[in-house]
Structure 1
Amino acid sequence: MADFDIAIAGAGAVGMSCALWAQMRGHKVLLLDPEPPGSGTSYGNACTLATYACLPVNDPSVLASLPQLMFSKDSPLSLSYAHALRNPRWMLSFLANCRAAPSRRIAGQLADLLSHADAGINPLIEAADAQDLVVERGQLSVWSTVKAAEAATAGLERRRALGVPWREVAPDEAQEMEPGLQSPVKRAVHFHAARHLRDPQEFITRMHRAFTELGGTTLRAKAEAVRASGTGVEVQAEGQSITAAHAVIASGAFSKRIKGAGTDKLPLGTERGYHLMFKDEAHRVTRPVGWGEAGFYAVPHAQGLRLTGTVEIAALDAPMNKRRLAYIARKGAEMLGALPDPDSEWLGYRPTMPDSLPVIGRSPQSERVLYAFGHQHIGLTLGGITGRLIADLAEGGQPNVDLAPYAATRPFA
């Protein structure tokens, strides 16, 4: 008999959601991670339950503005050329998905998954007794130039066609909604159905507490290898061997490093993201505010103002890029006025497939191994529904979401 029904590698937003959903269903669950739950990439996100985020990073505008994005000092994108040369297939696949037809298809597939996001996370919020962490003020997106404001129209209309609610906000109303904005506002849009969490790590900590109280087991060790058979999976974790009926790979950008899981064959890349925290400046904004041209968010966090975002395509083990932090600090001051020196800085690793879609489903190698990674910018938002779908698969049930677009066997370009 197996030690556990389900062993889950990874205790970020996605892995912790998988663990709590499975434990709520009555399974015997083991959660494996060498670090405290929620302390990795999930710690530093933009705090937003971004149910509107169906437009992929892959967009035709990337192809049109690629030289400017790559070479401008004011670009929200940074690219390590050495990393790109070492990973040409990923880069070419990413660019191929920036064409109009693939980009539209991906947006529709993300929108379908996001339409289930609240149904996936709301039961976890209740189980974790975390209602006090949820703020329902929507998300405000602003553009400070006429050119960028006009360029946003196609994407906004695509969102609306895919069922994402939003309303146009006049510039003076945007200033009333967020008096702290100092940068010009030429256009503003309020995604009024969006919510944010005052402290995402605290939410994950409370999920872990609920998981433990329901009988879940946590092992502070790194899952290093899995070996599947017809009856179960053996998981190797820092000298320990555990057996489970199913193993879930939910280690984010590090999922490729688990031997025997088949993940090494997948084009899993990394969009490195950064944030700065300003302890006494949370009053600068009252909800997540995204600045379109700058590619980052200003977010009111329980511990202060968080400026977070941008994209750096580089290796997992590359050193922190101080130029990215300087960019965020500079743009933050343009957006909100003079800021003090940040109290902390952070680098995280968004797990990203070249088509910007997550991988959710069974491993091609064994139905005993389940995949739950690659959620790029929206792991917090999609963690709950991913956890519910993984529980369905582990039980042999038929999920109410078509998982074909998120299968590991899909074409990536």
Structure 2
Amino acid sequence: MHDFDLVVVGAGIVGVSSALWAQKRGLQVLLCDPNAPGSGTSFGNACTLATYAVLPVNTPSVFRDLPKLVFGSESPLSLNFAHALRHPLWMLSFLANCRSARSAHIARQLAGIMAHADAGINPLIEDAGAEDLIVERGQMTVWSTKAGAEADAGALAFRKAQGIPFEPLGPQEALTMEPGLKLPVHSAVHFKAARSVRDPQELITRMYRRFIALGGQWRQAGVDETRAHAEGVEVCVGDDRVNAARVVIAAGAHSKSVRGSGAERLPLGTERGYHLLFPEEAHRVSRPVGWAEGGFYAVPMAQGLRIVGTVEIAALDAPENQGRLRYLAKMGERMLGPLPEPESQWLGFRPTMPDSMPVIGQSPQSERIIHAFGHQHLGLTLGGITGRIVADLAEGRQPNLPIAGFAPDRRFV
């Protein structure tokens, strides 16, 4: 006899989407997290439903640009060398996935699931009554140099081949759309179908409330162990134990801490991201604007202007890197002109596999344990469709889209 049909571990966008999809299907679901829904990494993202983002971080350009990225004084990448030396196999696997053939394979896999992203999140937005949080003004990416634009020409060609709509823009066209830009503009593109979210945590909060309204249950507690057996899974929720038909591990960068789930055996790394918030400056841009060479976004949202992005490869428990915050402040001013002191700053942990693809599917440990983590920069975008896939697997049936490429037992090189 099971206490629940499904226990969901983790209440970020992926976990809450999984819980809501499963509850909508009529399953009895328990959602668990030591923190409030949407208050972790999902809180601090770039607020963008980035359906154009089908290119992985792993590209052949990494080999060309690695010295500049690692040692450059104004690089969007920060690498903790002690952390890298402690995890040489992960770093080598990441680099192996930058080879042309592997990078192209990863991009095709991401494009395949991305084509279903809106179908996964739109029903949840509607169910949650969150349409007012969604802004349909697209996203703009700007290149400030000819070299930068030429380096990304292949990526745009791939997107065009995948049917992703975008409009190339000249400097004056870009400045007409976003007159607040102060950086030199060589060229730009407008991804017209992209949408943004005025408040990601509010979106997740409304989805959580809908989950509760449908009869879902919530426990503000961590899960540190699962024990699968023939009839179900015993889940250690805080100081209690519950029995479930299935459990889904959707705890983002913390998924490896759940013993007995199989997640602890996977090469899950952490890519740390930062943001600064300027409450009175949302008027500076009218949509999310990314500066390609700078590796960050300027995003207007309900709370103000969010300058967000960059990549830091470091341990999950490493202290906040003040250099990353200074970088965002400096580059934000280059992009938009003088800014006041930020009201707040934030550090989050993107769950990252060495092939830049999420892990979605049944654990090698047991078919009753489902993995749904490792979405790196794409959690908000792919959270809804991942949740729908999880609901399918929780019902014991195959999803209506191919997910073998994201299997937990795949090769990561």
- Scaled to the shorter chain, the TM-score interval is over 0.9
Paired letter, 1:3:
D
Residue of structure 1 equivalent to 2:225: 225
Paired residues for 1:140-179 under 5 Å: 140-179=140-179
Q: Write the deviation string for residues 350-406 of structure 1: whole angstroms up to 9, x where unpaired.
A: 001000000000001101100000000010000000000011011111211111100
> CA separation in 2, counterparts of 1:308 and 1:378?
14
> CA separation in 2, counterparts of 1:234 and 1:362?
16
Paired letter, 1:94:
F
Residue of structure 2 equivalent to 1:20: 20
| TM-score with structure 1 setting the length | 0.99
Displacement of 1:151: 1.1
Residue of structure 2 equivalent to 1:263: 263
Partner-residue secondary structure (3-state), 2:62: helix
Displacement of 1:310: 0.4
Determine if contact 2:260/2:365 at 8 Å carries over to the other structure. no
Paired residues for 1:365-384 under 5 Å: 365-384=365-384
> CA separation in 1, counterparts of 2:263 and 2:30?
20
Matched, 1:305 2:305: yes
Structure 1 residues 35-44 or 142-151, which shifts more?
142-151
> CA separation in 1, counterparts of 2:366 and 2:151?
45
Paired residues for 1:200-215 under 5 Å: 200-215=200-215
> CA separation in 2, counterparts of 1:272 and 1:261?
24
> CA separation in 1, counterparts of 2:165 and 2:59?
21
Determine if contact 2:11/2:31 at 8 Å carries over to the other structure. yes
* Structure 2 alignment gaps of length 5 or more: none
**Alignment RMSD (CA, Å):** 0.6
Q: Write the deviation string for residues 220-269 of structure 1: whole angstroms up to 9, x where unpaired.
A: 00011000001111111221111110000000000000011011110000
Paired residues for 1:284-299 under 5 Å: 284-299=284-299
Residue of structure 1 equivalent to 2:352: 352
Paired letter, 1:233:
V
Determine if contact 2:363/2:408 at 8 Å carries over to the other structure. yes
Structure 1 residues 158-167 or 343-352, which shifts more?
158-167
Displacement of 1:283: 0.4
Residue of structure 2 equivalent to 1:246: 246
> CA separation in 2, counterparts of 1:335 and 1:198?
21
Paired letter, 1:132:
D
Displacement of 1:169: 1.0
Matched, 1:102 2:102: yes
Paired letter, 1:300:
P
Residue of structure 1 equivalent to 2:325: 325
Displacement of 1:52: 0.4
Paired letter, 1:91:
M
Determine if contact 2:267/2:353 at 8 Å carries over to the other structure. yes
> CA separation in 1, counterparts of 2:136 and 2:359?
29
Residue of structure 2 equivalent to 1:121: 121
Matched, 1:6 2:6: yes
| TM-score with structure 2 setting the length | 0.99
Runs of 4+, deviation exceeding 3 Å: none
Paired letter, 1:212:
I
Displacement of 1:163: 2.1
Residue of structure 1 equivalent to 2:49: 49
Determine if contact 2:56/2:107 at 8 Å carries over to the other structure. yes
> CA separation in 2, counterparts of 1:28 and 1:395?
11
* Structure 1 alignment gaps of length 5 or more: none
> CA separation in 2, counterparts of 1:152 and 1:373?
28
> CA separation in 2, counterparts of 1:82 and 1:148?
30
